[in-house]
Amino acid sequence: MKKNYKYILIVCGLVAGFFMPGCTDLEVEFNDSYFVEQSDDGFSAVDVAAVLNSAYGKLGDIVGSSYTGVAGLNEPTSDEMIIPTRATDWGNGGVFRLLHTHTWDPAHTYILDTWDDLNVGVYYCTQILASNPSAQQAAEAKTLRAYFMYHIIDLFGQVPFREVNQGVDVYPAVWTRSAAFDYAVSELESAMADLPDGGPESADPTQVSKAFAHALLAKLYINKAVYKADNPAGPYSFDAADMNKVIEHCDAVESYGFELEANYFDNFNQNSKKEKILTYTRWWNGMWIWPQLHNSQGGWNGATTLGSFYDIFEDNDNRFYYNPDGGRGFGFLAGAQTKSDGTPYLNRSGEPLVYTREILLSGNTDYAGIRVLKYDPDSDDGFVLMRYADIRLMKAEAILRGGAPTGGETAQSIVDELRTIRGASSISVNIDMMLDERGRELYWEGMRRTDQVRFETFTKTTWESKSVLDDNMVLFPIPQRAMDSNPNFTQNAGYK
Residues in the chain: 496
* C-alpha–C-alpha distance, residues 141 and 191, integer Å: 9
* C-alpha–C-alpha distance, residues 55 and 372, integer Å: 30
* C-alpha–C-alpha distance, residues 420 and 374, integer Å: 20
Please, what is the angle between helix 177-191 and helix 210-222, to 10°? 160
- How far, CA to CA in Å, does 194 sit from each of 70, 219, 433? 28, 21, 38
pLDDT in tens, 442-453: 999 999 999 999
Encode burial over 115-124: b for 16+ CB neighbours within 10 A, e otherwise.
bbbbbbbbbb
Higher pLDDT pick, 21 / 53: 53
- Check pLDDT > 50 for residue 34: no
Residues 6+ apart with CB under 8 A from 408: none
Our CA angle for 418, 419, 422, nearest 5°, is 90
Encode burial over 394-414: b for 16+ CB neighbours within 10 A, e otherwise.
bbbbbbbbebeeeeebebbeb
Residue 387 has φ and ψ, to the nearest 5°, of -140, 165
Residue 43 has φ and ψ, to the nearest 5°, of -75, 140
- How far, CA to CA in Å, does 291 sit from each of 83, 360, 379, 382, 465? 11, 18, 14, 16, 21
- How far, CA to CA in Å, does 388 sit from each of 1, 66, 206, 383? 44, 26, 15, 14
Higher pLDDT pick, 302 / 5: 302
pLDDT in tens, 193-252: 999 999 998 779 999 999 999 999 999 999 999 999 999 999 999 999 999 999 999 999
How much is the pLDDT for 65?
Answer: 81
Whether residue 335 contacts residue 354, with contact meaning beta carbons closer than 8 Å, is answered with yes
**Coil/strand/helix, residue 371:** strand
- Strand runs (DSSP E) across 359-468, as ranges? 371-373, 383-387
* C-alpha–C-alpha distance, residues 204 and 465, integer Å: 42
Q: What end-to-end distance do the CA atoms of the chain give, in Å?
A: 41
How much of the chain is in helix, strand and coil states, percent to nearest 5?
A: 40, 10, 50
Higher pLDDT pick, 37 / 236: 236
Whether residue 356 contacts residue 367, with contact meaning beta carbons closer than 8 Å, is answered with yes
Q: Which amino acid is at 172?
A: P
pLDDT in tens, 300-310: 999 999 999 99
How much is the pLDDT for 275?
Answer: 96
* C-alpha–C-alpha distance, residues 129 and 359, integer Å: 49
How much is the pLDDT for 32?
Answer: 34
pLDDT in tens, 386-419: 999 999 999 999 999 999 999 999 999 999 999 9
pLDDT in tens, 89-133: 999 999 999 999 999 999 999 999 999 999 999 999 999 999 999
What is the greatest pairwise CA distance in the chain?
71
- Check pLDDT > 50 for residue 11: no
Long-range contacts of 228-237 (CB under 8 A, 24+ apart): 228/177, 228/178, 228/181, 231/471, 232/157, 232/177, 232/471, 232/474, 232/475, 232/492, 232/493, 233/456, 233/459, 233/471, 233/472, 233/474, 234/456, 235/456, 236/454, 236/456
What average pLDDT does the structure give for the chain?
Answer: 90
Residues 6+ apart with CB under 8 A from 87: none
**Coil/strand/helix, residue 44:** coil
* C-alpha–C-alpha distance, residues 160 and 183, integer Å: 12
Residue 331 has φ and ψ, to the nearest 5°, of 100, -135
